[in-house]
């Protein structure tokens, strides 16, 4: 639902988000009140020590303040539990309760100061247990005040001025967007949003030099982020609830889908190069792509043996034996590359750990096993790499011989241009081929390195017609359709499971945002509800106190979503609120859905028409590079933690990755060690768990 408006501004928290915090504080306050009452009753209000009058007043006042706070928390929890996500009407009194709770912090602060003064000046001669109890109460008060201040900082929205809404009798956005006043307001709000995001990026990257290139990157990224988040009025808990519901909805759709028809040969692959051959090549290249990450990934993958192996090699100088540039003063990165690849010092032509925005590390080596000059590009491992990733605007990339619109991801395009200049202008490739003129050129990388490797291969294709590129978990928003089709002759992309990154593109993110809006708007249950059909029912029916009954009220959607993510289950047991609605009803814009839209941007279209021009025109479409090899787990999606995983490999196409899939493994499947483990499993198992051939060689499996 929209963020709660209090103290004249909108906050990054909804009025139904106060149940969990309220229950937790309520439980703590009740215990505190009981302990204070026991202490006061035990001494019968008479304390035989200095400052007993102050102590008596402190305890009586503390009991009163705690009682008032407990009553306000009970009211807050009860009201916050009412209504639904898009129906905040029953919670209209929440701002008044927030004001009341804020006022109660004043006497609590005063009494905390009074207790601190008593402990420091008048506690001599008092019972040590009494003094300890007062000290604990004072510390608890200050801790609560501190955490409250931290919470206010977290939910503070710099763009939180109350946003005007259009008149009820007019179509949404017509009056504001067609008037100069409304246009000026949204233009000012957009400029403010860009400045806020720039400040956030500068704060997050305060350790980076604030030069012109970084400022330009901050500006470009902030415009992208502000445009994406500025047209909706959702708080983080709404997004979490929407993701949980969307995951269950996607799993139900996947279970009801007919088995896909797959092929074990790519129609565009050369004759004789089948799936098994490509997998063996990919598994070999993935070792180099993972090695490019240096010692962090090597230690992560070899927790017990890695430190011992590297300890003897770090700080040892081999500068005379290979060309190394920047960032590896102790030699640990290069030592881990040697251990990961099995190559010798003399096999490396150039190793660069230089890292700036749009300039990422890479190395060039002679792979004698495959008779190749191999270029491996590192993926994201620093804040500078993250800025390169987030520079997601499109940049023209004209390629000789390619017809159609040629453009690519700006940050990755510039990173590929940087490595291209190094390889060609600095003579690195000439040096390599002068040593092994009969070798072919192979380029590889993972994640950011995969996208850079693919663009680098496109740039070098005319000079090296036989080159090959193996791109592991590349970003989804990478190439225009023309460049993606052009790269299918020499690029193979490998995607594991439900990896998020190959599905990341601005159109896909806009699609995810609209789907979250739709599923949240169609939800007719509150985030907060009795968590029936669970073990909480046992406690609910046995506890008679209304206060404690409120405490067992839970975020039904969020808790069921967490349970589903951790322990699985049948998605039909976790209804997504849309099951009982007719399809024609869902095709109409909902009042709840419209209430979550601050303004109608070109990126938003009612989910009645996902393929409408408004849906596709907001951002230029970008696709994965080359032929796509999709690896999935063979068997049930939920399995024991100790069961052995088996994989299957299918040829796929770019249309299978046009939407984001919500899954607990959406990040884990992107990790380079997971991709390498899956490829090694496929190439070491016999027989290979490939999909059976199909008579229809033109059809690919899609998600």
Q: Which of 141, 447, 606, 663 is catalytic?
A: 447
The DSSP bridge pattern shows strands 627-633 and 647-652 to be antiparallel
Pairing between β-strand 9-10 and β-strand 647-652 as defined by DSSP bridges: unpaired
* Distances 179 to 182, 183, 600, 639 between C-alpha atoms, Å: 5, 6, 14, 57
527/519 Cα distance (integer angstroms): 13
| Nearest alpha carbon to residue 368 among 347, 385, 389 | 347
| Strand, coil or helix: 440 | strand
How does DSSP assign 511-558, residue by residue? HHHHHHHHHHHT--S-SEEE-TTSTHHHHHHH---HHHHHHTEEEHHH
Cα–Cα dist 557/554, whole Å: 9
Catalytic residue of the set 499, 511, 650, 669: 499
Q: What sign does the dihedral 675-680-685-686 (CA atoms) show?
A: positive
Helix ranges (DSSP H) in 597-684: 613-617, 672-684
How far is it, in rounded angstroms, from Cα 588 to Cα 569?
A: 31
Handedness of CA 474, 476, 478, 482 (dihedral sign): positive
Q: Which residues of 606-625 are buried (b: 16+ CB within 10 A; e: fewer)?
A: bbeeeeeeebeebbbbbbbb
For residue 167, give the 3-state DSSP assignment. Answer: coil
Parallel, antiparallel, or unpaired for β 627-633 and 491-496? parallel
Answer whether 449's CB lies under 8 Å from 289's CB. Answer: yes
Do residues 360 and 377 lie in contact, with contact meaning Cβ atoms separated by under 8 Å? yes
Residue 1 in contact with residue 596, Cβ under 8 Å?
yes
Which residue in the block uniquely carries the two structure tokens 């950011």?
448
- The total of other beta-carbon atoms located within 10 Å of residue 594's CB is 17
Question: Is 640 a known active-site residue?
Answer: no
Question: Which residue in the block uniquely carries the two structure tokens 């009803």?
Answer: 585
Q: What does the longest C-alpha to C-alpha distance in the chain come to?
A: 98
Instruction: Determine the angle formed by the axes of helices 52-80 and 128-155, rounding to 10 degrees.
Output: 40
What secondary structure letter does DSSP report for 208?
Answer: S
Q: Beta strand pairing status for 9-10 and 5-6?
A: antiparallel
Sign of CA dihedral 320, 321, 324, 327: negative
**Could you check whether the bond before residue 687 is cis, i.e. omega within 30 degrees of 0?**
yes
Residue owning tokens 């009991």: 63
DSSP class of residue 15 equals: T
Distance CA 650, CA 666 (A): 19
Is 485 marked active-site?
A: no
Q: Are 410 and 393 in contact (CB under 8 A)?
A: yes
Q: Output the six-digit token pair for 457.
A: 């291969």
Q: How far is CA 278 from CA 130, 264, 286, in A?
A: 75, 11, 12
Please list the active-site residues.
447, 499
């Amino acid at each position: 639902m929209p963020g709660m408006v209090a103290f004249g501004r909108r906050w990054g928290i909804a009025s139904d988000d106060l149940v969990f915090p309220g229950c937790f504080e309520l439980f703590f306050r009740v215990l505190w009140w009981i302990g204070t009452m026991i202490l006061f009753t035990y001494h019968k209000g008479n304390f035989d020590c200095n400052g007993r009058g102050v102590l008596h007043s402190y305890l009586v006042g503390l009991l009163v303040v705690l009682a008032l706070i407990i009553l306000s928390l009970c009211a807050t929890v009860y009201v916050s539990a009412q209504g639904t996500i898009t129906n905040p009407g029953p919670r209209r009194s929440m701002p008044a309760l927030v004001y009341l709770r804020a006022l109660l912090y004043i006497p609590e602060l005063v009494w905390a100061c009074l207790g601190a003064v008593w402990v420091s000046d008048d506690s001599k001669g008092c019972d040590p247990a009494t003094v300890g109890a007062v000290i604990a109460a004072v510390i608890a008060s200050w801790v609560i005040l501190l955490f409250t201040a931290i919470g206010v900082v977290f939910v503070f929205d710099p763009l939180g001025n109350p946003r005007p809404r259009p008149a009820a009798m007019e179509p949404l956005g017509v009056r504001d967007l067609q008037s100069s006043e409304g246009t000026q307001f949204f233009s000012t709000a957009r400029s403010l949003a860009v400045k806020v995001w720039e400040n956030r990026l500068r704060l997050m990257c305060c350790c980076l030099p604030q030069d012109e290139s970084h400022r330009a990157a901050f500006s470009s990224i902030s415009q992208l982020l502000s445009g994406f988040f500025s047209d909706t009025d959702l708080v983080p808990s709404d997004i979490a609830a929407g993701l949980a519901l969307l995951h269950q909805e996607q799993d139900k759709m996947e279970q009801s889908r007919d088995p896909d028809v797959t092929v074990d040969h790519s129609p565009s692959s050369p004759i004789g190069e089948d799936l098994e051959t490509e997998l063996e090549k990919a598994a070999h290249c993935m070792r180099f792509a993972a090695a490019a990450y240096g010692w962090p990934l090597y230690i992560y993958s070899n927790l017990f043996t890695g430190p011992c192996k590297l300890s003897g090699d770090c700080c040892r100088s081999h500068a005379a034996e290979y060309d190394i540039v920047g960032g590896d003063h102790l030699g640990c990165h290069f030592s881990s590359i040697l251990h990961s690849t099995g190559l010798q010092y003399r096999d490396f032509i150039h190793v660069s750990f230089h890292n700036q925005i749009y300039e990422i590390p890479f190395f060039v080596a002679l792979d004698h096993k495959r008779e190749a000059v191999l270029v491996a590009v590192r993926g994201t491992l620093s804040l500078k790499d993250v800025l390169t990733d987030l520079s997601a605007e499109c940049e023209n990339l004209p390629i000789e011989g390619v017809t159609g619109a040629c453009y690519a991801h700006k940050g990755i395009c510039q990173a590929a241009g940087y490595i291209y200049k190094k390889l060609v202008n600095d003579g690195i490739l000439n040096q390599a081929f002068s040593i092994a003129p009969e070798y072919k050129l192979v380029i590889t990388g993972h994640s950011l390195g995969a996208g850079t490797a693919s663009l680098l291969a496109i740039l070098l294709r005319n000079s090296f017609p036989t080159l090959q590129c193996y791109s592991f978990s590349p970003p989804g928003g990478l190439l225009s359709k023309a460049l993606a089709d052009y790269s299918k002759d020499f690029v193979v992309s490998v995607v594991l499971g439900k990896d998020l990154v190959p599905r990341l593109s601005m159109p896909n993110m806009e699609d995810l945002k609209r789907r979250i809006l739709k599923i949240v708007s169609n939800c007719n249950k509150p985030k907060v509800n009795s968590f029936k059909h669970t073990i909480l029912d046992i406690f609910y029916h046995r506890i008679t106190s209304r206060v404690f009954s409120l405490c067992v009220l839970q975020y039904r959607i969020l808790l069921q979503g967490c349970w589903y993510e951790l322990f699985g289950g049948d998605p039909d047991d976790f209804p997504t609120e849309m099951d009982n609605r007719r399809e024609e009803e869902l095709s109409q814009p909902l009042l709840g859905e419209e209430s979550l839209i601050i303004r109608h941007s070109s990126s938003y279209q009612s989910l009645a028409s996902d393929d409408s021009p408004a849906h596709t025109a907001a951002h230029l479409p970008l696709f994965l590079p080359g032929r796509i090899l999709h690896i999935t787990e063979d068997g049930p999606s939920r399995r024991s933690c100790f069961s052995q995983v088996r994989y299957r490999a299918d040829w796929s196409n770019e249309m299978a990755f046009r939407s984001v899939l919500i899954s607990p493994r959406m990040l884990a499947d992107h990790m380079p060690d997971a991709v390498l483990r899956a490829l090694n499993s496929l190439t070491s198992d016999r027989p290979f768990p490939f999909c059976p051939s199909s008579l229809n060689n033109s059809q690919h499996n899609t998600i």
